[in-house]
Amino acid sequence: MNKTIIIPRTLANRLLTFAQAAPQAEICGLISTDTNNKYRVYPIDNIADDSGCIFEMNPQQQISAFKQIRDEQQELFAIYHSHPNSEALPSKKDQQDAAYTDALNIIISLNTKGVLDMRGYFYREDGVETVDLIIE
């Protein structure tokens, strides 16, 4: 049985809005949370040359987002990115680049017109673990 993780609808809608605002490029960023279940989204620029099908986070922005998360005693909840032209399935590169085996990875797909396709994964050392995201 897959692990289930609840995503607040307002958070899901924000991620979808970011993705829809950039239909040509993958968007990416971090989400933190705290003990009160407050979520913060840190959008980060995708600096990949081929940003339509891969993402590479701007390193300075990534470092400062992690610093802010630490300073505010929050913890990393998820790493998100979008797939403008493909399904919400992790690519080979997504899995190879994964540095945080404890962080949830959220992929938002714009491939399915009108339907929110947001899926979650953990990239474990022994493979991909699919998570059931419950948006409520």
The closest alpha carbon to 77, from 24, 41, 113, belongs to 41
Of residues 69 and 98, the one with the C-beta less far from Zn ion:
98
Check residue 91 for interaction with Zn ion (CB under 5 A): yes
The closest alpha carbon to 17, from 108, 129, 94, 96, belongs to 108
Segment contacting Zn ion by CB under 5 A, of 7-15, 31-39, 58-66, 92-100: 92-100
Of residues 73 and 96, the one with the C-beta less far from Zn ion:
96
Measured from the CB of residue 123, what is the shortest distance to Zn ion in angstroms?
Answer: 11
Q: Which helix or strand (DSSP H or E) is residue 107 part of? A: strand 104-109
Residues that bind Zn ion (CB under 5 A): 91, 94
